[in-house]
Amino acid sequence: MAEPTPRELVQRTVRFEQTPRVPRNLWTLPWAETHHPAELEAIRRDFPDDIVSPHLDWPVLDCMRGDPYAPGVYVDEWGCEFLNIQAGAIGEVKNSLVESYDSDLDKVRPPWAWTKVDLGPVAVQYEQTDRFMLSPICYRLFERMQFLRGTEDLYIDLMEMPAGLIEMTRRIHEWNLAMIDAWGATDVDGIMGMDDWGSQRSLLISPQLWRDFFKPYYRQYVERIHAAGKLCFFHSDGYIFDIYEDLIEIGVDA
C-alpha cells in the first residue's frame, strides 16, 4: 500500500482508520523563532507539518493599529485593545470595549469586511499542496465575548443573563456563521474554531452552564461546517474533560 499523502493521513486519522503515524501540526509564536531558531528549523525539517492554512492579504480596517506580537498596544479587527509586555507573545485585553451594555453595545461591530475577502487564491494554493488545508479561525465565541466585555464582567453576565449579553452574543454568532459560510465555499478540507475553556483544574464555567448557553451555538457551527462538506476542527486549552462527550455529540471532528 502506498504511503498516504499528508492530506490523506489527516483524513484517515479523523475517521479512526489505520495510519502509519500520527499527523503533525506545530503551532509556534514569534518568540520561538527569535529565541530558538535553529531548534525550530530542525523540528520543521525532521517533522514537517501535515496541515497548512492558506495565505491571504487581510484588509487592515480603520480601527486596527499596532503589531499583535510587539510590546505595546495592538487593536484588532473588532476594535479590541490588547496590551503586550513580551516581544513575540500575545497580549491581553485590559480595557474592554463594553463597560456598560446601555452605553457601549453599539461598539460591538463585527468586521464584516473580513467575510467578503477575495478567497479565490485558496483554490490555487490548494492545488499546489498535498497537505491538509485548514481555514483560519472562523468561529471564536467565548474568547471574543471576553475580549469585548472583559473576563470578570462576562462571568457575572453569565450568571445574570442581561439582555445586552444576549445581543452581544448574537452579533458575534452571526459573524462566526458568515465566516464559516465564506470558507465553506472554498476548497479547504477543514474549518477551524477555537475557545480556551479550561483552567488547569476544571472548566472555566460550570459544565451545565456551558451546555445550556454555549453548546447550542457550537452545534450550529458544526452543522454549518458539515453542510459545506468540511471537517470541523476545534482548539481548546486546559482541563475540558467535562465537555468532551458534548463536543463528540455535536459532531466536532478533531
Proportion of the chain above pLDDT 70, given as a percent: 100
Tell whether the model's pLDDT for residue 1 goes beyond 80.
Answer: no
Cα→Cα distances 124→9, 115, 120, 129, 187, Å: 21, 19, 8, 9, 9
Q: What is the pLDDT of residue 13?
A: 98
The fold of the 6-58+99-250 domain, in CATH, is TIM Barrel (3.20.20)
**Predicted structure pTM score:** 0.96
Q: Taking 90 as the threshold, does the pLDDT of residue 2 lie above it?
A: no
Q: What's the mean per-residue pLDDT of the chain?
A: 98
pLDDT score of 143 more than 90 = yes
Tell me the one-letter amino acid at 243: I
Which distant-in-sequence residues (6+ apart) come within 8 Å of 157 by Cβ? 149, 164, 165
- Position 195: which residue type? D
Helices (H) and strands (E) in the chain, counts: 11, 7
Per-residue pLDDT, 53: 98
Among residues 184, 183, 137, 189, which one has the least CA distance to residue 12?
189
In the prediction, which pLDDT does 75 show? Answer: 98
pLDDT one-digit tens code per residue, 146-185: 999 999 999 999 999 999 999 999 999 999 999 999 999 9
Can you tell me the distance from the alpha carbon of 45 to that of 38, in angstroms, rounded to the nearest whole number? 10
